[in-house]
Amino acid sequence: MYRVTKALNHNAILAVKENSVKEYLLLGKGIGFGKKVSEYVEPGEDVRVYSLQSDSERGNARKMVRDMDPVYLEISNAILKKAEEEFGKIDRSILFPMADHIAFAAERIRKGEQISNPLTQDIQVLFYKEYKIAELAEELLWQMEGIRIDKDEIGYIALHVHSSICDENVSNAMQIAAAVRECVAMIEEETGSKIDVQTLSYNRLMNHVKYMAARGMTGEELKLDMNEYIEKQYPNSFQIADEVCKHLSRALQIELPEIEIGYLAMHIERVCSNEIES
């Protein structure tokens, strides 16, 4: 049982758990309808309970909840529900910074301010499923607030979704996306050709660099060393891969073992071969 401390709207309340002093946010259809302070409620299975004890890069959860329109909490809750259906267990504490970001985005849009996200296209490739889930924000903001958001805003929300499924904060995810973009730009410069972002080879290359960065951060190492064979077969791609790995190590301040060079070189060779054929 929970004792209501404040009804935010029909679908959101703040409440204290019975025999406790800790406050929680309860989100669910009709949970706040007609509820009064000190009234007791028993949340059903469709109600999500969030602790307000957490802090994030964007501040204290309790303060964020009390300062924002609860509609953005509802939208974030719906996005996380969809993420949970897709990925299974997620970290729902990301609700608060995600809702805060969406609320801020809505405020900017109402003022006619536009932000750009130079990494939107990269985020769509690197975090494809997360981006598709984040697109729910576009639908809900239009339905509930009459606000249209663009792909750049969806890209930022996708990083919050990614943060909910990985032990990685939003700024780190953004840093990885930027580093991957720089690596692809290096490959394009070295090969002298623009890589077609619509190809499967490009998609595989981007994802390989993403997971390569993740391995560098966790210390995971590949088992099979193909460097000698790949360097002999594809010397140009191997040299480019070597430079890209060094750049990625510097950009993310991680240690990438030499074994990674051969695998990256294979992807570079595949992409280059596709460009030549087309």
The CATH fold of domain 54-167: PTS-regulatory domain, PRD (1.10.1790)
pLDDT tens for the 278 residues of the chain, in order = 999 999 999 999 999 998 888 899 999 999 999 999 999 999 988 999 999 887 665 668 888 888 899 999 999 999 999 999 999 999 988 999 999 999 999 999 999 887 888 889 889 988 999 999 999 999 999 999 999 999 999 999 999 999 999 877 888 888 888 888 888 888 888 888 787 777 787 888 888 988 898 888 888 988 899 999 999 999 999 999 999 999 999 988 999 999 999 999 999 988 877 654 44
**H or E element: which one contains 127?**
none
pLDDT in the model for residue 171: 84
Domains 1-53 and 54-167 agree in fold: no
Q: What is the pLDDT of residue 271?
A: 83
Domain boundaries, the chain: 1-53, 54-167, 179-277
Distance of CA 91 to CAs 37, 102, 137, 174, 275, Å? Answer: 29, 18, 18, 18, 41
Residue 45 backbone dihedrals phi, psi, to 5 degrees? -65, -25
- Edge to edge, the sheet with strand 2-9 lists 40-41, 2-9, 12-17, 23-27, 48-51
Q: Give the angle subtended at the CA of 36 by the CAs of 32 and 41, to the nearest 5°.
A: 60
The pLDDT of residue 58 is 62
Pick the CATH number of 1-53 from 2.30.24.10, 2.40.50.100, 1.10.620.20, 3.30.1370.160: 2.30.24.10
Residue 174 structure tokens: 């953004």
Residue 91: half-sphere exposure toward Cβ, Cα within 13 Å: 18
**CB neighbourhood size of 217 (10 A):** 16
Burial of 95 per CB tally in 10 Å (0-12, 13-18, 19+): buried
- Its CATH architecture, for the domain 179-277, is Orthogonal Bundle (1.10)
Question: Which pLDDT value is given to residue 118?
Answer: 86
